[in-house]
Structure 1
C-alpha cells in the first residue's frame, strides 16, 4: 500500500471475546487498518482489554462514535443489539463491519443496508470464511466440470456446549444456534447454489431452560430443483464441513468455516469411479483477509452493501417461520444453581 494512503482507523464497540481472540490480532496483521480505540461500559474491564492491544479505552459506545479520528467501527456486540448500534454508527458517519448475523430480522437488515447506501457508507457482515481461497478452489472445480452437473449441497456446523453463562444462551440478546452457527451453512449454500434459495422445511430444537434454539436443520430448494440440507448446533460434537454432489462425483471440504491459519486446507474430490484426488490450498488467515477486504472497499469507495446480506436475513426469517419446534436437551446449569 502506498505510504500516501492513510489506513482505515477502526474503533471497536465492546470487549467481546471474538474481538480479543480474533479480530484485533487480525487488524494488527493488516497494513490497511489501524485500531485506535475500544469502547466498553465498564471502565476497568475496558482499560484492561485495550491495554492488551495498545489502544485507547473509551467508556461508553456513544463517546467512541462521536470521535473524529475513527473512520469505521467493528461491532461484535450480541446480535440483539446490532440494529441499534449499527444505526447509531451510520448516523455518526462511520463505516461498519458487524459480526454475523447483521440483524435479527430481514426488515432490520433491509433498513440498515438502505441507510448505509443513502449515506455513502460501507456496511458489511463479517462472514470471514467467504474470504478464504479454498472456496474459490471449490468454485473452480465446479466450473471445470469435475463432478458434472451440481445436484445438491449439504453442510454441517456444530460445536460442543458453551459455558452455562455464555451470552449465546440469552434469548433477549439474540442468542441461539441458528443465529450463531446456522448462518454459516446458509451463506455457503447461497455461495454455491445461487440467490434463488427457498426454505422447504426446518426443525429447531428449543432449550426450555434458556429459551433459545440449541440446534436445528433446514431443507432448501432452488427453482431448478437443486437442494441444500443444512444442520447446525451448539450442543454436539464439532463439525465444520460441506459437500457438493454432482452427477459424476462429490467435492468435500472439511474445516469449511474454520480452517486453521497455520496449515494448508484440502479440497477433496471423490470421483464416480471410486478414485480420490485432492487440491491443497496454502494457509491463510481468513480474519485478516476479511479485514483487508473491508478496508480496501472503504479506501476505493466501493460502499454498496452486498445484496446477500438481505437475502441471508430473509432465509433466517424463513427458517424460523417454517420450523417445527422440538424440545432440545437443556444446556448445563451453572454450578451451584438450584
Structure 2
C-alpha cells in the first residue's frame, strides 16, 4: 500500500490504546505540536475512548481494527502493552499508516526485524518512543565528553528503578510482555549505545524473577566495547525510584540524575568531578515529550531516511534479547 498523503503539512494521528501514560504525558505533549492533530482514539472500552476524546479531541473508536480502516488517519501512536506492539504495529504498517510505538518496540529481535522490513517495504516511518533521546541535556553531556572533560572514558553506568507495580498492573503479566527488562531496563541499554556506540558485547546478565507472576522484576547486565569500555546496567520494579547515568574516565566523571524522565520544567543538573574539583552544571529545562512527538512528525513529513534508524531498532531489540536469554535467574 502506498504512503498516505499528510493533510496540508499536518500529520493526522490515531491513538491505539488509552493507557495512563498517554493520558498523563504523551497526549498533552502531542497537543502542543502544530504538525500533529489527533483525529481518532481507539480502545476496546468505548467509555474510555470517549473520555480520552473529550479531553484531547478526535473521534472515539471502539476496537483497534476500526481505527486502522479510517482514511483520516495518516499515522498511529501505539500505546498498548509491549506484547501487543508487534501485532498492531504490523497491522498499522500494512494499512499504510506510519507508526510511533512505545518502548520497548517488541519482545524480541525477530519481531522488530519484521516490523522494520514492513516499514521499508511500504515506505513508512516506524519510531520507538524513547523520549529521553530528545532532551537537550544528553547532547550537552556528550559534547563535554567529546571535548575531553573526563579524559578517556573507562566505564558507563546507568540505573533505572521504580517501586513495585500494583498487583493488576499489565507490567506484571508475562503474556503482555511485562517485566522490568523491557520497560525500565530498555532505557539503560539505549543510553549505553547512545554514549558508547552500537558495538557492545554482553559479558553477563542476571534477572530477578517474581515466583508468583513469572516476570522479571529487576536485574543487571555488563557489556564491554572493543576498546574495553564497560557498561554496567541496573534496573528494577522492586526498588526505590532512581533514574541516573554516569561516565567515568581517566581524568574525571560526569553524572546525571533524573536522566530518563525529567519533567518539562526541571532544570537538569550535571555533576562534573575531577581530581581537585566538583562542579554542578545547571542546564536549561526541556520538554522531551513534546520534542519526541515533534521529531516523529518531522521525520514523516520531511521524508527523512529510515534505513539506519531501522537498523538501530533491531539492534536494540537484539541486545535486550541477549540479556534475557543469557541471564542467570534468581527467584524472589
Interval of TM-score (by shorter of Structure 1 and Structure 2): over 0.9
1:310 aligns with one of 303, 310, 314: 314
Shift of 1:165: 0.5
1:148, 1:231 → 2: CA distance? Answer: 25
Q: Which residue of 2 aligns with 1:163?
A: 166
SS in 1 for 2:186: helix
Runs (4+) of structure 1 exceeding 6 A deviation are none
SS in 1 for 2:235: strand
- Tell me whether 1:300 sits opposite 2:302 in the alignment: yes
Gaps of 5+ in 1: 329-338
2:183, 2:149 → 1: CA distance? Answer: 33
2:275 aligns with one of 272, 275, 282: 272
Shift of 1:50: 1.8
SS in 2 for 1:52: helix
Alignment of 1:184-263 (within 5 A): 184-263=187-266
- Tell me whether 1:15 sits opposite 2:18 in the alignment: yes
SS in 2 for 1:90: helix
Report the TM-score, using the length of structure 1 for normalisation.
0.94
Alignment of 1:299-338 (within 5 A): 299-305=301-307, 306=309, 307-328=311-332
Shift of 1:51: 1.4
Contact 1:171–1:210 (CA under 8 A) maintained in structure 2: yes
Q: Which residue of 2 aligns with 1:335?
A: none
Report the TM-score, using the length of structure 2 for normalisation.
0.95
SS in 1 for 2:42: strand
Contact 1:121–1:303 (CA under 8 A) maintained in structure 2: no
Shift of 1:278: 2.9
- Tell me whether 1:71 sits opposite 2:74 in the alignment: yes
Contact 1:182–1:232 (CA under 8 A) maintained in structure 2: yes
Alignment of 1:79-228 (within 5 A): 79-228=82-231
Contact 1:38–1:55 (CA under 8 A) maintained in structure 2: yes
Gaps of 5+ in 2: 1-6
